[in-house]
Structure 1
Amino acid sequence: MNLDIPGKFAPIVHQAQQVAREVFRPISRHYDRAEHAYPKELDMFASIMDGMNDGAADGGAGAGRLARSAGDTGTGNQNGTNMKTVLGLTELCWGDVGLALSIPRQGLGNSAIAAVANEQQLQRFGKTWAAMAITEPGVGSDSAAIRTTATKDGDHYIINGEKIYVTAGERANAVVVWATLDKSQGRAAIKSFVVEKGTPGMTVERLEKKLGIRASDTAAIRFHNCRVPKENLLGDPEISVDKGFAGAMQTFDNTRPVVAGMAIGVARAALERTQEILKTAGLDLAYQQQSWTTTAAVRELHLLEAELEAARLLTLRAAWMADNGQPNSKEASMAKAKAGRVGNQITLRCVELCASLGYQETELLEKWARDSKILDIFEGTQQIQLLIIARRLLGKSSSELK
């Protein structure tokens, strides 16, 4: 493996670093306190994020679909949209996770569009800022238990149900809603629909107050006899296992490495700041010493750095596989499970290592600890990721291994 970051992505990484340092960090605390206030400073950066996707219609925070470029022979090494998105968002989340989730046209719903939309839909919705609505009250992490319904009515579908914890649900221009065409047919009947903002029957019920990522709005949305054109059903309308839930779940194969990259970014921010604080306190962080000859704090930092590097390499592998058309469900879950867990572990441990400085609002360390927790939860909890990995390793279906 060549572990160097591809040189062609250097400008994107540099741009993202500048935004994180010069824009996100200075306003981070302000929008953490002013929950639900829209960060107007972000409007100018939508074009920068578009550059991360080369203006492609399958862009956005969701990266690209698991397929090679047209005309590719299947040989060689592809580094494309998935890798760019992971690298860029890692740097942006070094600045602020909530602000990174609030950049226009970079919603998680763009992931679903990239994963399962047909070419015509990619052209229609590729530039739309799309949120993603999956979670429902009482359903939790079991996406297959979705109760929101979509009933065919001529040239439209009528959607009824409630979704919660929709990131950018109020601000986005559209919401990708997961709903079932027929509850009796289980997973195979679950499809995703693009419901554009202002569609009659779609109502934002409330915005949630949260532990972290307060700069990002998180909405509860109700759908009551909400009519959407049949052309807004993403992918194939036929009910089948391959073209239904399995196709929709490919969305997660795209987004889980992205969320892992976000966790790596905020954890790296906490580690770097902790190193600066400990150096100021007079601790020697030199790597040439054996672990048993260093202080407990320095040894702990070295162990956390090793964990973070392991998560980073797993994440890059999952993104690379997506860019090269290789099925990456297991690897995406491995990256998400590792990065989500150690990201939260690192930020919390850094708060402890820095004592009163880590716990006070004079530093961003306490905020990063709060922000990091959601990255271990959304896009599938730690437990869900471990279950998916076990199924892939053992060759078991979801009904065989619950």
Structure 2
Amino acid sequence: MINLENPKKFQGLVDMTRQVSTEMFRPISRKYDRAEHTYPKELDTLRALLEGMNEGDPSGGVSASGGRSNKQQTGNVNGGNISTVLSVAEACWGDTSFVLTMPGQGLGNAAIAAVADDEQMARFGDKWASMAITEPHFGSDSAAVKTTAILDEETGEYVLNGTKIFVTSGERCDVVVVWASVDPSLGRAAIKSFIVPRDNPGLELVRLEHKLGIRGSDTAQFALVDCRIPKENLLGTPEVEVKKGFAGVMQTFDNTRPMVAAMAVGVAKASLERTFELLKEAGVEIDYDKPAHLQIGAAAELLRLESDYEAFRLLTLEAAWMADNRKPNSVNASMAKAKAGRGATEIALKCVELCGAAGYGEDELLEKWARDAKILDIFEGTQQIQLLIIARNLLGKSSAELK
């Protein structure tokens, strides 16, 4: 049974991350929101600090990479996934874009942690890995990948060709985890993930995107042109199992979707706390001992938003806890991501509304949080895709039966 309180052993981690958010992220948040595509050099100092801490405790720092569950552990486990969502939520209380551009903590690291073998972990476990899935002709339908990876038997290398868009931290990372098909005639079952070094001459940076929010994080488009990588850079098995589909590469999302939900938890928490402070300064008191309908409108609305926040915070912790305890969490991860992404967007926008001119101006970070929140309802699978995954599971339908 999941305990609804944060595990006490991670309280130090939560406190440390809040300190980082307060003293480092918040003070420079607006600076890099305005200076889009400029790398936040302050994060290098944080990376050095975290590397020093992680030498003694692998779960001891702000992380965006997800955790590996220990197969040998028994009983209730609060491990890497729980520590990740707790630290990510506190870090996004400071600034979401900095979490996405944290050196060594890209979304591709979750794919490596979930699928890589020991040899690959030794080579790439400490690299900053971004994730390249989306292509110009599709968004959430990951099975529509057209990028190819054809094995050259003579050299023992895969040759990748295709175009990838919306690659988070694509310019700054060390390696890119690329989704590609080893045989397009076999459909989605042939989709595999490959680790491509960022300096590979066949991986060409086309452009960096200008965005509504998370401007402190770069978002890149790449062209893969006869991009050659060793066959040992394939994540998972090279065999194509048609009956199994592409469940192997999709396993990555069971780790990353709770993490994105945790980002939403952090943004929502920041918005609620600041709105509470601003309403109090304006003379609006929230009485937690009195029913919402007996309080003034602004107080009642804030109470409603706080209850919604608590719901998706607990869903996020549940999905992460299930991953730590090796329980199938695909549906729970989708529930957490769908509820948190939608909820955080609504909360951030409502908080801007409740605070009026203060919420809309650049003197406060509320308007920035509202812009940052929207992406959390979109990437790693839109809310609509999450609801489709949940519906298929509840109704016992396949992807072909329920589209």
**What's the TM-score bracket when you normalise by the shorter of the two chains?**
over 0.9
Q: Aligned residue for 1:123?
A: 122
Number of the residue aligned with 1:104? 103
Q: How many angstroms does 1:70 deviate by?
A: 4.0
Cα deviation, residue 71, structure 1:
2.6
Aligned residues with identical type, % of pairs: 61
1:78 match: 77
Distance 1:232 1:241 in 2: 22
- The alignment status of 1:163 with 2:159, answered yes or no, reads no
Aligned to 2:91: 92
TM-score (norm 1): 0.96
Structure 2 residue corresponding to 1:61, chosen from 59, 64, 67: 64
When residues 243 and 22 of structure 1 are mapped into structure 2, their CA distance, relative to the original with a 3 A threshold, is: farther
- State the alpha-carbon separation in 2 of the partners of residues 205 and 217 from structure 1: 13
| Residue correspondence of structure 1 range 211-250 to structure 2 within 5 A | 211-241=212-242, 245-250=246-251
SS of equivalent to 1:205: strand
Encode CA deviations 1:66-118: one digit per residue, 9 max, x unaligned. x4x2433x4x2101110011000000000000011111000000011111111
Q: Is the 8 A contact 1:82 1:323 kept in 2?
A: yes
Cα deviation code 1:274-302 (max 9, x no counterpart):
00000000011111122222111000000
The letter of the residue matching 1:140 is G
Quote the offset at 1:261 in angstroms.
0.4
User: TM-score normalised to the size of structure 2?
Assistant: 0.96
Distance 1:60 1:113 in 2: 14
Report the alpha carbon displacement of residue 395 of structure 1 after superposing the two structures with TM: 1.4
Once residues 254 and 218 of structure 1 are traced to their aligned partners in structure 2, the CA distance between those partners, rounded to angstroms, is: 21
- Asked whether the equivalents of residues 200 and 227 of structure 2 are also in contact (C-alpha less than 8 Å), the reply is yes
Contact 1:135 1:163 in 2 (8 A): yes
Unmatched segments (≥5 aa) in structure 2: none
- Given that residues 106 and 169 in structure 2 are in contact (C-alpha distance below 8 angstroms), is that contact kept between their aligned partners in structure 1? yes
* 3-state SS in 2 of match to 1:159: strand
Aligned equivalents of 1:364, 1:44: Cα separation in 2: 24
| Uncovered stretches (5+) of structure 1, i.e. residues with no partner | none
Distance 1:242 1:40 in 2: 47
Contact 1:108–1:130 at 8 Å: present in 2 too?
yes
1:287 correspondence with 2:308: no
Q: CA deviation at 1:60?
A: 5.3
Matched residue SS, 1:9? helix
For this pair of structures, how many residues does the alignment match?
396
Aligned pair in 2 of structure 1 residues 361, 17: CA closer, same or farther (>3 Å)?
Answer: same
Is the Cα–Cα contact under 8 Å of residues 52 and 84 in structure 1 kept in the other structure?
no
In the alignment, which residue of structure 2 is the partner of 1:175? 176
1:287 aligns to what SS in structure 2?
coil
Contact residue 12 and residue 52 of structure 1 kept, 8 A:
no
Distance 1:384 1:48, change over 3 A: farther
Distance of 1:324 and 1:95 partners within structure 2: 29
Deviation string, structure 1 residues 352-371 (Cα, Å, up to 9, x no partner): 00011111101100000000
One-letter identity of the residue aligned with 1:342: G
Cα distance in structure 2, aligned partners of 1:166 and 1:179: 14
Q: How does 1:3-402 map to 2 (within 5 A)?
A: 3-50=4-51, 51=53, 54-55=57-58, 61-65=64-68, 67=69, 69-72=70-73, 74=74, 76-154=75-153, 155-241=156-242, 245-402=246-403
Cα distance in 2 for residues equivalent to 1:221 and 1:244: 26
Structure 1 stretch displaced more, 333-342 or 290-299: 290-299
2:315 and 2:143 map into 1 onto residues whose CA distance is: 27
Whole-angstrom distance in 1 between the partners of 2:150 and 2:90: 42
Give the superposed CA RMSD. 1.5
In the TM superposition, residue 55 of structure 1 has moved relative to its aligned partner by 3.4
Aligned partners of 1:60 and 1:118: how far apart in 2? 21
How far off is 1:241 after superposition?
Answer: 4.5
- For residue 198 of structure 1, give the secondary structure of its aligned residue in structure 2: coil
CA distance in 1 between partners of 2:284 and 2:321 (Å): 38
Measure the CA separation in 1 of the matches of 2:269 and 2:11. Answer: 18
Assess if the C-alpha contact under 8 Å between 1:158 and 1:225 holds in 2: yes
CA distance in structure 2 between the partners assigned to 1:157 and 1:79 by the alignment = 38
| Cα deviation, residue 198, structure 1 | 1.0
Measured against aligned partners, the alpha-carbon deviations of 1:119-157 in whole angstroms (never above 9, x if no partner) come to 211111100100000000011110000000001002100
Q: 1:205 to 1:330 in 2, by over 3 A?
A: same
Separation of aligned partners in 2, 1:131 and 1:17: 25
- What one-letter code is carried by the residue in structure 2 that aligns with 1:62? S
Change (3 A) 1:47 1:77: farther
Give me the whole-angstrom Cα distance separating, in 2, the residues matched to 1:231 and 1:244.
22
CA offsets per residue over residues 198-254 of structure 1, 9 Å max, x none?
112111110000000000000001100000000000011111147762010010010
Q: Name the aligned partner's letter for residue 107 of structure 2.
A: L
Inter-partner Cα distance in structure 1 for 2:310 and 2:292: 18
